[in-house]
Amino acid sequence: MPDIVNRCFGYFFSAGKLFAVLALVATASMSAAPVSAAGQASSDKPGKSVRTKDLAIAGYVENVKIFPENLTFESRMDTGATTSSLNALNQKRFERAGKEWIRFDVIDPENDNKKVTLEREIVRNVRILRHDGNHQRRPVVRIGFCIGSSYREGDVSLQDRTELSYQLLVGRNHMKNLVLIDSAHKHLLGPDCPRP
């Protein structure tokens, strides 16, 4: 092993790329999550940790069930997204009991020619900077997801995702401390939660 290290170091040093290698090593070491000898990975909050052996392994695409509608969507598990996002068509805001709500349609996962109407209270609005430089205001609602045997409610931004491959994008807010993602496989978990 030391022979390989010496040859690599000699190559990078002789090619004048020593600083690039050091920068790459420094970047990799800063972005890696610390793991303890007991197999625990640090979480975002100080003083909190989760044992990695307690997390389920999910594929980069999974079937995820939303409640209470009991709809199962083939979903992209996106560790790069902070918040989950759902394809929401025909959005109509309205007031109920003095609070702002939204009614929207999703494409029925069982039949692409049908739509299912959902209603949720709006918990906040987000302002998104689009690729074209324009801003877009999106409503955020709370939706419960069943991922494997775990159920979690969390924020979901509503947007028209019709042109994208998956109606549901599962962000870190629904995955944190529940699953690790295997980027080489799909459908490692089936939704198997008791109805909340």
Instruction: Give 145-191 pLDDT, tens digit per residue.
Output: 999 999 999 999 999 988 889 999 999 999 999 999 999 999 999 99
* CA-closest candidate to residue 67, choices 171, 173, 172, 147: 147
Lowest mean pLDDT among 15-19, 88-92, 101-105: 15-19
Q: Report d(CA 167, CA 160) in Å as an integer.
A: 9
Q: Which candidate, 155, 157, 149, 154, places its Cα nearest to that of 178?
A: 149
pTM, whole model, 2 decimals? 0.72
pLDDT of residue 48: 62
How does the average pLDDT of the chain come out, rounded? Answer: 80
Share of the chain above pLDDT 70, in %: 74
**pLDDT classification of 130: cutoffs 50, 70, 90:** confident
pLDDT in tens, 35-45: 333 333 334 45
pLDDT of residue 45: 52
Q: Please, are residues 79 and 176 in contact by the beta-carbon 8 Å criterion?
A: no
Tens of pLDDT, residue by residue over 52-86, are 788 999 999 999 999 999 999 999 999 999 999 99
Residue 28 clears pLDDT 70, i.e. is over it: no
Report the candidate in 158, 183, 23 with the shortest Cα–Cα distance to residue 88: 158
127-139 mean pLDDT:
85
CA-based nearest residue to 158, from 132, 135, 128: 128
